[in-house]
Each structure stands twice: as C-alpha cells, then as structure tokens.
Structure 1
Amino acid sequence: MKHVYTSIIPMRWGDMDAMGHVNNTVYFRYLEQARIEWYAFIGREKNAGMETVVVNAHCSFMVALTYPGEIEVRTYAGSPGRTSFEILQEIRRTDDPDTVYARGGARVVWVDRSTGKSSPLPDTVREMITA
C-alpha cells in the first residue's frame, strides 16, 4: 500500500453517543471526508464525467475516540485493477499519533457518469497509485 494523503479532522461534540465516545457510524464519515479530500488533492475534476463508486466499505474499531480532539486519517491506495482499487485508512489522534484508533477503507470502482458503467482507471490515477 502506498501512503497517498493525510487529512486532519476535528472531532465534534455531536459526534459522541450516549456511551461517551464517538459513534461508530461517524468513523465512516471521517473515512469518507478524508477520501473526498484526497480526490480533490489529486484533481479528480480533471477527469470530467468520471466518478468513483464505493462497492465495499469497512471499519475495525481498536480504541474508542472521545471528544475533544483532532484526528489524523492516513489514506493508502492499493494496487489498481482494471477499473477499481482499494483504499485503506488509519485513524489516529493528532495528540497520540502512534496509536491506531481504527482501520477502515473501501474498494472503489471508476465509473463513467454518462453510462453508469465501470470504466478503466485513467492513466494519471493509475500512475499516482503505483508510483
């Protein structure tokens, strides 16, 4: 896996649940936010009419996150297939960067928006993932 992006996201008080820690569903929002920031960073708009679609998402919770604080989401890209690639991510606190609080990610498929069908990964994306 190749490290491709790191995102810093503040935890919000509203992210907490009745148990006093960040709700499990919010972790998926953190992963999504980091993934979308990475897409903007690599210039997804250069591939007009193309999008990624999540076909599988997962998250394993290691240590409970509690407010207040900021998290760091490290995003890694896996070996690309013809139309898809794996994104793996680690969530850490910025004040405790050596501890992995959660691991997650998604398999995404490159899709042509006009047809709704999968499309080969653009060479620029393939090169960025494998470089």
Structure 2
Amino acid sequence: MIKTLSSLQLSKVTRPISWGEMDLFGHLNNVHYFRYLEDARIAFLDQLNFFDNKLYCVILKNECEYKCSVEYPDQLTTISYVTRVGNTSFCMLYEVFSEQQDTVVAIGKSVIVIVDPETMQKREIPAQFRDHLLKYMKEFQYEQYA
C-alpha cells in the first residue's frame, strides 16, 4: 500500500562541497557530481515515501552534462524534476546550481526502472506512486521541457 502524500514540495538538496572532492586540477572531480545527483534522487524518493513502501528500483541510465567547473569553497543545490513517467520507469532531470557562481553548473539525467527485488525483472509502477510522479511532473515542470 502506497502511503499518501500530504503535499508536494520542490525537491532540492543543498550541501557544501568538501576539499576532498577536488581533483588535481583544483576543481570538483566529475565523479562527485553523480553523488550530488544521487543525494537529490534519494531525497526526492524519500519525499514520495518510496522506501517506506518497499519499492525497489535500479538506474538504467545516468548522465551528466558539465556546464562549468566548480572550485572550493562553494555550496551546490541540486533540484530534481520528473520529465517522463512510463509503465515501468520514469526519467528525472537535475539542475546543479553553484552558490558562488550564481548559475547552473551541471545538468543530470537518470532513467529509473522499478523492479521486483527478488527476480530483478521490470514491474509496473504502482498506480498511486505513478500518480504522485505525474502530479510532481506537472507541478514542477523543467523550463526546457515545459
């Protein structure tokens, strides 16, 4: 049974970058962007009570387009959008915003597939969760796709 949501909020996660995330060239190492995307995705799924409902998913595709480099110190805010909802999967887009530069420094995209935890076979997105995804997608449209 999917728990109901009281209200939708734009899902965003803000955290400072750490010195240890820098690479030899003095900017945020590319692997850490994927951790920021993961933080945002988990916060989003948490907001929708995904884990409380024992749903299981895998990432089919994960990509990141780097707009400009990020240097320490900085604080990044990652905002999550839903851009497509299918029968067994949904797509998310993430904007990574730099406080220091006052601009979007990366755009991430993920395809998330709902699977059976025992067989790892695709399964349909439960109707109530699908409804929440669609409601979120309509409420918080990414400007590029609106």
Q: TM-score, normalised by structure 1?
A: 0.89
CA contact (8 A) 2:84 2:92 kept: no
Percent sequence identity is 31
CA contact (8 A) 1:31 1:89 kept: yes
2: CA distance, partners of 1:26 / 1:57: 13
1:4 shift after superposition: 4.3
Could you say if the C-alpha distance between residues 10 and 124 of structure 1 is closer, same or farther in structure 2, counting changes exceeding 3 Å? farther
**Residue 93 in structure 1 maps to residue 101 in structure 2:** no
Could you say if the C-alpha distance between residues 17 and 60 of structure 1 is closer, same or farther in structure 2, counting changes exceeding 3 Å? same
* Structure 1 segments (4+ residues) deviating >2 Å: 94-97
**Residue 70 in structure 1 maps to residue 93 in structure 2:** no
Q: For residue 74 of structure 1, what is the amino acid of its counterpart?
A: I
Residue 84 of structure 2 aligns to a residue whose secondary structure is: coil
1: CA distance, partners of 2:13 / 2:128: 22
Choose from 44, 47, 53 the match for 1:38.
44
2: CA distance, partners of 1:26 / 1:46: 27
Residue 115 of structure 2 aligns to a residue whose secondary structure is: strand
What does residue 19 of structure 1 align with? Answer: 25
What does residue 127 of structure 1 align with? Answer: 131
1:95 shift after superposition: 4.4
1:45 shift after superposition: 2.4
1:44-80 alpha-carbon deviations (Å, 9 max, x no partner): 12321x2110011100001111111210001001221
From the two aligned structures, give the one with the greater strand fraction: 1
- Work out the number of aligned pairs and report it: 127
Residue 85 of structure 2 aligns to a residue whose secondary structure is: coil
Q: Which runs of 5+ in 1 are unaligned?
A: none
What does residue 6 of structure 2 align with? Answer: none
Q: Which has the higher contact order (CA 8 A, sep 6+)?
A: 1
1:125 shift after superposition: 2.1
1:124 shift after superposition: 2.5
Q: Which runs of 5+ in 2 are unaligned?
A: 1-8, 136-146
Aligned CA RMSD, in angstroms, stands at 1.5
CA contact (8 A) 1:9 1:71 kept: yes
1:128 shift after superposition: 1.5
Q: TM-score, normalised by structure 2?
A: 0.81
CA contact (8 A) 1:4 1:77 kept: no
**Residue 29 in structure 1 maps to residue 35 in structure 2:** yes
